[in-house]
């Protein structure tokens, strides 16, 4: 009996001993990594408190609506829940690629803005009557680091979405017949898009440069021999006073709304903010009013907008 028990004790003692792999994995963290880890811990610690505040805010809003309803201040139309988008025909299919291959040309602030646009893009696809297959290509550098640090890389858990470190030319690497069905959407193209086709793949340039990098998407597509086209924004929004530059999520939402309505004018007016049709955009809206000071983040503080947005998406998944 003792002969059987003794080997088990020796094995237990061996299991408790540190291994070579354990000591090798204890790599010291850089100062930047330590700051990011500490920030994630602070956010995680504050999350229950924030959830409680949000819950209380929802209750307060509900109480306010009930009081207004009792006072007769709400019409039936105001009180009715917003209808969900309904599918009105057969599934459209189709695929949209967001090309993230411009990371090295963007600043940290522009990468943060792009990350937010990607979250809005995913949200628009989740809420669409007809969802596209979403593919994000050439994920690396600052953009990947930014997304990895948000809510434990929540983007990797987005549904109906795929992430590649390779460029979009991988699409036709094994099947050359795929390439003619790929269209790069760029405002600099001479060809105007007339309709979307379910058998085609549409690429949106994942770039946030405030029009600094002129022709960047067109040049990349042309050099790769990829067909290009522009949305017919000039044809349907000729009265648009401000510059016709769209964000990644606005471009995607226009595609989604076209699939729902099969009408470009409806799709554009659903997505484009009304201020874009005013003479001076945002400035026109605040004419005659004193400008309110905008709170600026501290030097070491990162904006919280993207974090909150992607966390909300993760909760809804």
Question: If you search the block for the tokens 């909760």, which residue do you land on?
Answer: 315
Helix count and strand count (H, E) for the chain: 12, 6
For tokens 């993230």, name the residue. 100
Give yes or no: 209 in active site.
yes
Q: Which of 76, 78, 209, 219 is catalytic?
A: 209
* Residue 239 CB-density burial (10 A; 0-12 exposed, 13-18 middle, 19+ buried): exposed
Coil/strand/helix, residue 182: strand
Residues 251, 125: contact at Cβ < 8 Å? no
Strands of 161-163's sheet in order across: 161-163, 133-137, 95-99, 201-205, 182-185, 227-229
The two three-digit tokens of residue 301, written as one number: 């503080």
Q: In a 3-state reduction of DSSP, which class is residue 98? A: strand
Active site residues: 209
């Amino acid at each position: 009996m003792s002969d059987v028990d003794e080997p088990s004790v020796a094995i237990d003692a061996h299991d408790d001993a540190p291994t070579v792999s354990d000591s090798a994995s204890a790599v010291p963290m850089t100062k930047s990594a330590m700051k990011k880890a500490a920030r994630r811990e602070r956010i995680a610690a504050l999350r229950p408190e924030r959830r409680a505040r949000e819950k209380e805010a929802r209750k307060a809003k509900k109480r306010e609506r009930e009081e207004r309803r009792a006072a007769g201040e709400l019409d039936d139309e105001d009180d009715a829940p917003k209808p969900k988008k309904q599918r009105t025909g057969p599934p459209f299919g189709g695929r949209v690629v967001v090309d993230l291959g411009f990371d090295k040309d963007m600043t940290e602030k522009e990468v943060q803005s792009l990350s937010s646009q990607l979250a809005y893009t995913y949200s628009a696809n989740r809420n669409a009557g007809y969802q596209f297959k979403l593919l994000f290509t050439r994920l690396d550098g600052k953009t990947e680091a930014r997304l990895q640090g948000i809510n434990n890389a929540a983007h990797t858990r987005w549904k109906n979405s795929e992430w590649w470190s390779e460029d979009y030319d991988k699409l036709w690497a094994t099947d050359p017949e795929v390439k003619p069905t790929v269209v790069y959407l760029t405002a600099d193209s001479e060809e105007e898009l007339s309709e979307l086709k379910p058998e085609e793949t549409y690429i949106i340039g994942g770039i946030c440069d405030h029009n600094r990098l002129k022709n960047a998407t067109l040049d990349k597509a042309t050099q790769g021999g990829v067909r290009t086209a522009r949305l017919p924004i000039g044809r349907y929004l000729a009265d648009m006073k401000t510059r016709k530059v769209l964000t990644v999520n606005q471009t995607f939402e226009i595609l989604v709304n076209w699939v729902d309505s099969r009408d470009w004018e409806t799709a554009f007016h659903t997505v484009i903010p009304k201020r874009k049709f005013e003479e001076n955009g945002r400035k026109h809206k605040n004419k005659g009013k004193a400008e309110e000071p905008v709170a600026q983040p501290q030097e070491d503080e990162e904006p919280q907008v993207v974090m909150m947005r992607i966390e909300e998406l993760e909760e809804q998944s």
